[in-house]
Amino acid sequence: MNANPRFDTPACVTACGPKNASGITSVSSWNRTRMSRDRRGAAAILMVAMLGVFLVMAAVTVDYAYIQLVRTELRAATDASAKAGAEALSRTENAQQAIAAAISCAADNKVGGRSVVVTQNDIVLGRAVTGGNGKWNFQPGVTPFNSLRVNAKSDAVPLFFGTVLGKNSFTASHKTVAGQQEIDVCLCLDRSGSMLFDMSGTDWSYPPNNPRLSNFTAWGAQWRNHLSPPHPTNSRWAVLARAVGDFYDEVEDFIPPPRTSLVTWGSSYTMPIAPGTVYQAATTNVPLSNASFQSQRMNVNDSIAALGVQPMMGSTNLSAGLDRAVQQLTGPNARSLTNKVIILFTDGQWNDGRHPRLAAQDAKAAGIIVHTVSMLTQQQPDLTEVATITGGTAYTTQNEIELRNAFREIAKSLQVVMIE
């Protein structure tokens, strides 16, 4: 007997299949019925399998979204904590008060429905310094402190579908470095005799039609110009005044804006005709103070304007000006935790007083950055060296546009709030 009988044989059809009107089983009808039942069974199995996949996908989607929400909450809480600590550090100059402010602010924020717990061990104070790549680098433990880092971590946050994913909870962590960078700036400006010249770059070339031209003519036209105040719009002094205005326009929106002072310099000189005015090598025109930003700006502008209606005399004792600026930023009105910056401007070559390198070394020892700006001169090794020693930048400008852009760029580089 055949072990594998054919199901379309008359015996099998008669015994197994439905019969037609003649009493003969219909093979095609029977096959369709069986195939339909098979398909329904396979579809049910597939639906059950797909339902399981959908449930896993839903669990993953919901929990992943929740994880991202918790991470976002923790990041916001950590940023707020670091900013609060940095603000307190700047305002009080007290490390413990800064730590307390950071801890308190963190506790005011919730992550996964729970208050964020930051301890003193999670907070590191240090100093933020500019790197050669234009970024700020945080140096933990380096004094004087001007920044802090908060390392925050959430508690174990339960997941909605932990049993499905095989992981019942997760923890998130985040760190933020912030510095409320208060800045003390001293504008250290050359007021030597060459600031009377025009912008041609030629020595002893004065702007024509100076409405302030002296009546003294006994020594010729050159001395007449030299014994006169600078031209109100076309002299180098007038161009410098506009660049200083650009600087203030850039920094006025800083929070907080910098405290500013003004030192002008040339060399020790006595005017050779009446009234025989004596010029000091360096003068503190506007001292560093706690006056409002607008008051400081007005005082600096008024001093620059007042100098602009007087003759300018003397050589280029660059170190005298730099030394006086350092005194301002380290004197009784200076604060220990501020970033200290000198903007040293000249239109000439150092030719009087001690070597600028020595003054730069003193500035560096006091933690002061010196940016140097030259106008209408070629690259000056002395100015480049001063900037390099103190960690500043040397700018060489050849016209008014470049000069004003240099003052704007320096202004933009002064402050940072969020470092990492």
Tell me, yes or no, whether 369 lies in a domain.
Answer: yes
pLDDT value at position 135? 67
168 and 191 assigned to the same domain: no
Beta bridge partners of 264: 189, 283
Are the C-beta atoms of residues 376 and 386 closer than 8 Å to each other?
Answer: no
Report, as an integer, the average pLDDT of 360-387. Answer: 94
Q: What CATH number has the domain bearing residue 356? A: 3.40.50.410
Q: In terms of residue numbers, what domain contains 320?
A: 183-412
Tell me, yes or no, whether 6 lies in a domain.
Answer: no
Plot region of 150 (φ>0 → left; ψ -120 to 50 → alpha; else → beta): beta
pLDDT value at position 102? 94
171 and 231 assigned to the same domain: no
pLDDT value at position 32? 60
194 and 174 assigned to the same domain: no
pLDDT value at position 201? 95
Tell me, yes or no, whether 43 lies in a domain.
Answer: no
Report, as an integer, the average pLDDT of 377-392. Answer: 92
Q: What's the chain's length in residues?
A: 420
Tell me, yes or no, whether 13 lies in a domain.
Answer: no
Query: Which of 178, 194, 216 finishes a domain?
Result: 178
In terms of Cα–Cα distance, which of 413, 183, 416, 188 is closest to 321? 188
pLDDT at residue 398 tops 70: yes
174 and 237 assigned to the same domain: no
Tell me, yes or no, whether 141 lies in a domain.
Answer: yes
270 and 334 assigned to the same domain: yes
Categorize the per-residue pLDDT at 13 as very low, low, confident or very high, splitting at 50, 70 and 90.
Answer: very low
Residues 224 and 213: their CA atoms lie apart, in Å, by 7
pLDDT at residue 166 tops 50: yes
Q: How far apart are the first and last CA of the chain?
A: 87
Contacts 24+ apart (CB under 8 A), 324-327: 324/188, 324/263, 324/265, 324/282, 324/283, 324/284, 325/186, 325/188, 325/261, 325/263, 325/363, 326/359, 326/362, 326/363, 326/366, 326/368, 327/284
Q: Helical H runs in 252-390?
A: 293-307, 318-330, 356-365, 381-390
The pLDDT tens digits of the residues spanning 271-294 come to: 999 989 999 999 999 999 999 999
- Give the count of beta carbons closer than 10 Å to the beta carbon of residue 138: 19
Query: Which of 178, 205, 237 finishes a domain?
Result: 178
141 and 194 assigned to the same domain: no
262 and 165 assigned to the same domain: no
Tell me, yes or no, whether 94 lies in a domain.
Answer: yes
Q: Which residues of 248-274 are buried (b: 16+ CB within 10 A; e: fewer)?
A: bebbeebeebbbbbbbbbbbbbeeeee
264 and 400 assigned to the same domain: yes
Tell me, yes or no, whether 113 lies in a domain.
Answer: yes
pTM of the entire predicted model: 0.70
When computed from its CA atoms, the radius of gyration of the chain, rounded to whole angstroms, is: 39
Report, as an integer, the average pLDDT of 295-304. Answer: 98
68 and 84 assigned to the same domain: yes
Q: What's the structural domain count of the chain?
A: 2
146's tokens: 């001007």
Residues 223 and 202: their CA atoms lie apart, in Å, by 16
Query: Which of 122, 148, 178 finishes a domain?
Result: 178
pLDDT value at position 10? 46
Are the C-beta atoms of residues 328 and 248 closer than 8 Å to each other?
Answer: no
174 and 187 assigned to the same domain: no
Are the C-beta atoms of residues 158 and 169 closer than 8 Å to each other?
Answer: yes
311 and 391 assigned to the same domain: yes
296 and 153 assigned to the same domain: no
183-190 and 368-375 as β-strands: parallel, antiparallel, unpaired?
unpaired
What is the DSSP code (8-state) at residue 112? T
DSSP annotation string for 210-243: -TT--S--TT-HHHHHHTSPPPTTTSHHHHHHHH
Tell me, yes or no, whether 41 lies in a domain.
Answer: no
Tell me the percentage of the chain whose pLDDT exceeds 90.
Answer: 61
Beta bridge partners of 187: 262, 343
Torsion of CA 138, 141, 146, 149, to 10 degrees: 60
